[in-house]
Amino acid sequence: MKKVCVIANAGKNKAEEIAEQVSSFFCQRGIESSIFFEDFSEQVSYCRELTEGAECAVVLGGDGTLIRAAGRLAAQKIPVIGINIGNLGFLTGAEYGAAEPALEALVSGDYRIEERMMLEVSVGDRVFDTALNDAVITRSGFSRIIGVSIFVNGKPVCTYRGDGVIIATPTGSTGYNLSAGGPVVVPTTELILITPICPHSLSARGILVSGEDEVRLVVQEGKKTQDEEAFVTVDGQNAKKLAAEDQVVIRRSKEKAYFIQLNDHSFFDVLHKKLGGKE
């Protein structure tokens, strides 16, 4: 390994200090490293000079920081590993307290690279964004519910009435989807999760479809329609207003994200620990 990019969430406590420690770790082993401080208050792109030639990126933050970094680096096929200095850290490869053994394993090559599917999100006939985590349609008004009709491969499936709908990747299954009562899915599978948010029905249930399927969502006109019935938000970052009858089409993206997983690190171990299992 010759070059590593360190990406740190500037909003996290001691992010600068930790980033310098990680960079120093690599420098002591003759590995070039560059540091980028992520500021979530700005829409910025990583400088190519920092990432060009990097064999991997070490991301300091929580799941949100890791998702953002992995999505942005997908086109360059740069794999990422997360060191959790945030809260839950479902997707990160190690906790900060165990960072040094994780980095030693990285340097020694004791890891594997996992490919993760992403979703292409189109509004109307234009591609809007690419999601690694999820695309979420939510209501825009106060104390109102919205109707969202679901079509899979052009066939009508159901209409959810409530606060909205989450369309998640397997990687995103432990995010908003989990909070909304959706299933947890092994992140390397190729599925699309459709989960209603606070549905106004006792019979409403989530749906899993193949990664080969195309999901189309149509915002229904409300009883008191307005210019903006809803919003579509991609990975909690990029949002667009939707009017009644607007359509959002979601299909598997041609791009993939790349995650580094240490060989002693199992998704099921993390699942057991994070969801309340005993050590």
Enumerate the active-site residues. 63
DSSP string across 249-279: EEEEEEEEEEEEEETT--HHHHHHHHTT---
Q: Which residue has the tokens 């790349």?
A: 258
Among residues 116, 125, 222, 136, which one has the least CA distance to residue 177?
136
Residues in Cβ contact with 144 at an 8 Å cutoff, skipping those fewer than 6 apart = 222, 224
Question: How many angstroms separate the CA atoms of 279 and 272, rounded?
Answer: 8
Residue 20 C-alpha from the chain's centroid: 26
Structure tokens at 236: 């909690």
For residues 219 and 148, the answer to whether their CB atoms sit within 8 Å is yes
For residues 149 and 159, the answer to whether their CB atoms sit within 8 Å is yes
